[in-house]
Amino acid sequence: MRVRDLPLSRTTIDHFESRGIDELYPPQAAAVEAGVTEGRRLVAAVPTASGKTFVATLAMLTADGPGLYIVPLRALAREKYETFSEVPDVSVGISTGDFDSSAAELGDNDIVVATSEKVDSAIRNGADWISDLACVVVDEVHLVGSEGRGPTLEVTLATLQRRAPGVQIVALSATVANPDELADWLDAGLVQSTWRPVDLRTGVYAGGAVGFDDDTQRQVSVAGDPDDATDATEALVAETVDDGGQALAFVRSRREAETLAERLAGVGSSPEVAEEIRDLDGTETGRRLADCVEGGVAFHHAGLRSAHRIAVERAFRDRRLRAICATPTLAAGVNVPARRVVIRDQKRYTGSGMEWLPTLEVHQMCGRAGRPHLDPYGEAVLVGDPTIRDELWERYVEAEPERVDSKLADPNALRTHVLSIVASDFAASREGVLDVLDATFFAHGTPTDELSGVLDTAIADLVEMEMIVDENGLAATDLGTQVSRQYVTPATGARIVDGLRTAAGMTEVTGLTALEIVCDTPDMQDTYLGNRERADMYRFAQAHADEFTTRMGETDDFEGWLTAVKTARILHEWTEGASAEDLVEQFRIGPGDLESRIERAEWLLGAADAIAGIVDVAADVPFRDRRARL
DNA sequence: TCAATCGAGCTTTAGACAGCATGTC
DNA sequence: CTAAAGCTCGATTGA
C-alpha cells in the first residue's frame, strides 16, 4: 500500500513523499485496512519506531474534525508537536503544564497535543474544545496499568467519551500480554505486529560471549574480568563505537550512570557539546557531565536539569556523542535510538530488596536499538554472568511482556476521581458515579459492584474532608470544587486546610510556614534525608518550631515530616537568594531535583492560595508571596 | 614511621504529571 | 519479607 493511495490531500501526500515515506510499513497498512482513515477505532500494539506516529497522523488528518494526541510526558508532547507542525496546512496546538497555548486558541487547532493530566484537567474544567473532537489518539495506552497515573488515563478516556460522544479513538500500545482486552474496552479493532523497520537482535552476554536470539554467537574481548558486568559493558560499548555506531548503556542508579560514563569517556571526543553544556551552569554535576562529554560520552538521569538532558539527547541524535550511560529515564522518553543497547543492570531496588525489572520495561530499553536508515541492524545485549544467563534469557528474551491491569481500585486514585466526577457535574449520586466509572477499563474487566465497597469509603473520606456532601445525592462543596480545579489530590487539599487552621492559632506565621504546609503534602515529592544530615535537620526543625504547623512529637510520621522540612528548607533558602550551586552542594540533590521541586512548589503554593481564599479561617499564610519569590 | 592494602560496616538506591494570572521580549 | 555497590574509616601488613 502506498501513501499516494491514501485519502489525503495532494500537498500532504507530497509532504510525506518528500520525506521518503512512500510505501506503508506493514503495521501501517494493517491499520489502514482496519479502517483508521475511515473513522474506525483501533488499538495498535506494535513496537516503538514501527511508524505509530504516522498511523496517528493519518487518523487525525482523515477525521471529520479536530484531533487530540495524548502523551504521557511533556518532552514527548513537544516532540510530537514539532513533527505534526511540519505537516502542511495543519495548525497544531500544545497543552502541557509547562507549555500551553491559550485555551481559546486550542479550539481553533486541527491537532492538539497534550499530556493526559492536562486533558483530564480540561475535561474537569469544562473546556469546550473537548466536545468538538472527532479523533483522539492515546500514545502509550499500556500506561493505564501503571500505579500512579494509570487511573487518570482510564478515567480521562471514559469521561472524554461522554463529552465527545462517538469520537474515534486510536490507542497506541507497547507490546503487552492482553492488547485484546484494551481493544475490547475501547470498542476498537486490534492491529498487532512485531514488525520493525530495522532488524533487532536481542542477546545475553555471559562469560565473554553474547548469544543472540537468532542463534548467532559473538565473542567479545573484555579488557578486564569477563564476568564483571561493568568490564563487559565497557567492552560492548567500545565495540560498537569502534565500529562507527552509537551505544546506550542502562544502569540502575544515577551514581552508577555517572561513574560508568566517566570510565567510558575517551571513546570519542565532543568538545563543542562539552562547551555547550559547560555554559549552562556552574554546578558540580554540570562540570562532571561536561568532562565526560569532552570524551564523547554523556550520562543521563533525572538529577540533570532539563536543559542538560535536552542538550545530551539532541547531541546524541545528531551523532555528536558516541554513547550515553543512563538510568531508565531514557527508556520511555523521547526518541533516542542507538545501534547497540547494553543493559548492565536488570534489577532495581524497591524498598524491600532488589526486584527484576518488568519485562515490558526491558523490552522498551531494547527497542531503542537500531536507527532506521542509519544502522544495518539494532542490537540489545543483556549483561549477566554464567549464573544468571538462563534466567535472563527466559525472563527477557523469550518471555511475553506483562498484562495491563487497571489500578483504579486503589483508594487514593478512586478518591481523587470520585471527587472530580462529582465536582465537574458528571454525576450527582452514588449510582451516577458508578455509571461514569462503567466506561472505565476497570469496569470492563470487573463487574462494577466490586468497586462498590471502595467507592463507599472514598465517598465517606471525601465527606469527612468536607469536599463533598452526601444529602439527597452527592454534591461538591466549594472546597471540593477548588481542590478538583487546582488538580491537587484530596489528601493534599486536606493537608492545606489543616495547615491553615493550625496557622490561625499561631503567633509566628512566615514564609517557612507556607513552604512547610505545601511540602508536607502528598503531591510534593519527598527529598531524600540522609542519616548524616538528620541531626542537623532536627536542629533546624527545633529552631523554627514556632513557624511550623506540625508539632514535633505530635506526628505519627516524624520521619516523613522531617523530609518535608528538608524540602521546605531548601526552597526557603532558594527564595532567600541562595544559589542553585550551593543548594545542590549543601543538600546533596541533583540540579534537576531542585528544578522540579521549585516547579512543584510553585504549583502547590498557587493551589494553597486558592484554597486559602475559600476556607473560613483567620490565618494569613504568605503562599502568594513565596510563590512570587520562587 | 609511614604508606599501601584490605575489609567490615555503613550509606544509599528510577522517574515525573498538574493551576492560574500577570508580565516580558 | 527479597539486595548490592560504593564509600568511609580503621586495622593489618609490608618496607
* CA A585 / C1′ C7 distance in Å: 18
Q: Which residue in A70, A204, A591, A177 sits closest to A403, CA to CA?
A: A177
Q: What is residue A226's predicted lDDT score, i.e. its pLDDT?
A: 87
Of the pLDDT bands very low, low, confident and very high (cuts 50, 70, 90), residue A191 is very high
Of the pLDDT bands very low, low, confident and very high (cuts 50, 70, 90), residue A449 is confident
Nearest nucleotide, C1' to the C-alpha of A347?
C3
* CA A353 / C1′ C3 distance in Å: 5
Q: Indicate if the pLDDT at residue A448 is higher than 80.
A: no
> Which residue is closest to C5 in terms of CA–C1' distance?
A256
- Phi then psi for A168, rounded to 5 degrees? -80, 130
> Which residue is closest to C1 in terms of CA–C1' distance?
A352
* CA A346 / C1′ C13 distance in Å: 39
Mean pLDDT of A225-229: 87
Print the SS3 string covering A345-408. Answer: CCEEECCCCEEECCHHHHHHHHCCECCCCCCCCEEEEEECCCCCHHHHHHHHHHCCCCCCCCCC
Q: What is residue A225's predicted lDDT score, i.e. its pLDDT?
A: 84
Q: What is residue A353's predicted lDDT score, i.e. its pLDDT?
A: 83
| Side-chain half-sphere CA neighbours of A197 within 13 A | 18
Q: What is residue A85's predicted lDDT score, i.e. its pLDDT?
A: 95
* Number of C-beta neighbours around residue A377 at 10 A: 14
Which residues are in reach of strand C, CB within 7 A? Answer: A 229-230, 255-256, 259, 347, 349-350, 352-355
Q: Which bases of strand B sit closer than 7 A to a protein CB?
A: 10-20
Distance CA A210, CA A232 (A): 10
DSSP string, A82-109: HHHHTSTT--EEEE-SSSB--HHHHTT-
Distance CA A84, CA A82 (A): 6
Q: What is residue A445's predicted lDDT score, i.e. its pLDDT?
A: 85
Of the pLDDT bands very low, low, confident and very high (cuts 50, 70, 90), residue A554 is confident
Q: Indicate if the pLDDT at residue A463 is higher than 80.
A: yes
Mean pLDDT of A301-321: 95
Q: What is residue A360's predicted lDDT score, i.e. its pLDDT?
A: 94
| Side-chain half-sphere CA neighbours of A477 within 13 A | 18
Q: What is residue A53's predicted lDDT score, i.e. its pLDDT?
A: 93
Q: What is residue A614's predicted lDDT score, i.e. its pLDDT?
A: 92
Report pLDDT digits (tens) over A135-160. Answer: 999 999 999 999 989 999 999 999 99
Distance CA A619, CA A517 (A): 13
> Which residue is closest to B20 in terms of CA–C1' distance?
A606
Q: Indicate if the pLDDT at residue A258 is higher than 80.
A: yes
* CA A5 / C1′ B25 distance in Å: 46
* CA A532 / C1′ B8 distance in Å: 19
Q: Indicate if the pLDDT at residue A455 is higher than 90.
A: yes
Q: What is residue A90's predicted lDDT score, i.e. its pLDDT?
A: 94
Paired residues of A201 in beta bridges:
A379
Q: Which residues contact A139 (CB under 8 A, 6 or more apart)?
A: A52, A56, A69, A70, A71, A72, A76, A80, A172
Q: What is residue A531's predicted lDDT score, i.e. its pLDDT?
A: 83
From the annotation, which residues of A make up the binding site for ATP? Answer: 28
Region class of A501: left (phi > 0), else alpha (psi between -120 and 50), else beta: alpha
* CA A532 / C1′ C10 distance in Å: 19
* CA A531 / C1′ B9 distance in Å: 15
* CA A251 / C1′ B4 distance in Å: 32
The secondary structure element, H or E, covering residue A448 is none
* CA A48 / C1′ B1 distance in Å: 65
Tell me the domains of chain A and their CATH numbers: 3-192 (3.40.50.300), 200-396 (3.40.50.300), 411-486 (1.10.10.10), 490-629 (1.10.3380.30)
Of the pLDDT bands very low, low, confident and very high (cuts 50, 70, 90), residue A406 is very high
DSSP string, A11-78: HHHHHHHHTT--BPPHHHHHHHHTTGGGT--EEEE--TTSSHHHHHHHHHHHSSS-EEEEES-HHHHH
Paired residues of A45 in beta bridges:
A173, A192
Of the pLDDT bands very low, low, confident and very high (cuts 50, 70, 90), residue A619 is confident
Q: What is residue A42's predicted lDDT score, i.e. its pLDDT?
A: 97
Q: What is residue A555's predicted lDDT score, i.e. its pLDDT?
A: 87
Q: Which bases of strand C sit closer than 7 A to a protein CB?
A: 1-7
Paired residues of A211 in beta bridges:
A204, A217
> Which residue is closest to B18 in terms of CA–C1' distance?
A487
Q: Indicate if the pLDDT at residue A260 is higher than 90.
A: yes
Cell numbers 469546550 correspond to A128
Q: Indicate if the pLDDT at residue A616 is higher than 90.
A: no
Of the pLDDT bands very low, low, confident and very high (cuts 50, 70, 90), residue A540 is very high
Q: Which of A439-453, A517-531, A595-609 has the lowest mean pLDDT?
A: A439-453
Q: In what order do the strands lie in the sheet with A42-45?
A: A92-95, A111-115, A67-71, A135-138, A168-173, A42-45, A189-192
Nearest nucleotide, C1' to the C-alpha of A593?
B16
Distance CA A591, CA A525 (A): 15
Q: Cα A533 to the chain's mean position, in Å?
A: 30
The one-character DSSP state at A447 is: -
> Which residue is closest to C4 in terms of CA–C1' distance?
A354
* Residue count of chain A: 630
Paired residues of A168 in beta bridges:
A135
Q: What is residue A192's predicted lDDT score, i.e. its pLDDT?
A: 95
Q: What is residue A227's predicted lDDT score, i.e. its pLDDT?
A: 86
* CA A307 / C1′ C5 distance in Å: 29
Q: Indicate if the pLDDT at residue A530 is higher than 90.
A: no
Report pLDDT digits (tens) over A162-181. Answer: 999 999 999 999 999 999 99
Q: What is residue A49's predicted lDDT score, i.e. its pLDDT?
A: 80
Distance CA A229, CA A245 (A): 21
> Which residue is closest to B15 in terms of CA–C1' distance?
A329
Mean pLDDT of A308-336: 94
3-class SS at A442? helix
Q: Indicate if the pLDDT at residue A294 is higher than 80.
A: yes
Report pLDDT digits (tens) over A561-592. Answer: 999 999 999 999 999 989 999 999 899 899 99
Of the pLDDT bands very low, low, confident and very high (cuts 50, 70, 90), residue A206 is very high
Q: Indicate if the pLDDT at residue A30 is higher than 90.
A: yes
Q: Is A280 or A190 the better-scoring residue by pLDDT? A: A190
Of the pLDDT bands very low, low, confident and very high (cuts 50, 70, 90), residue A308 is very high
* CA A603 / C1′ B20 distance in Å: 9
* Number of C-beta neighbours around residue A194 at 10 A: 11
Paired residues of A383 in beta bridges:
A205
What does the longest C-alpha to C-alpha distance in chain A come to? Answer: 75
Q: What is residue A223's predicted lDDT score, i.e. its pLDDT?
A: 85
Q: Which residue in A157, A240, A200, A214 sits closest to A48, CA to CA?
A: A200
CA dihedral A388, A393, A396, A399 (to 10 degrees): -130
Nearest nucleotide, C1' to the C-alpha of A258?
C6
Q: Indicate if the pLDDT at residue A116 is higher than 80.
A: yes
Q: Which of A86-100, A448-462, A493-507 has the lowest mean pLDDT?
A: A448-462
* CA A312 / C1′ B8 distance in Å: 40
Report pLDDT digits (tens) over A81-99. Answer: 999 999 999 999 999 998 8
Q: Which amino acid is at A454?
A: V
Q: Indicate if the pLDDT at residue A369 is higher than 80.
A: yes
Q: What is residue A102's predicted lDDT score, i.e. its pLDDT?
A: 75
Q: What is residue A100's predicted lDDT score, i.e. its pLDDT?
A: 84
Q: Indicate if the pLDDT at residue A104 is higher than 90.
A: no
Q: What is residue A29's predicted lDDT score, i.e. its pLDDT?
A: 96
* CA A65 / C1′ B22 distance in Å: 33
**In chain A, what are the helix, strand and coil shares in percent, each to the nearest 5?**
50, 15, 35
* CA A424 / C1′ B8 distance in Å: 60
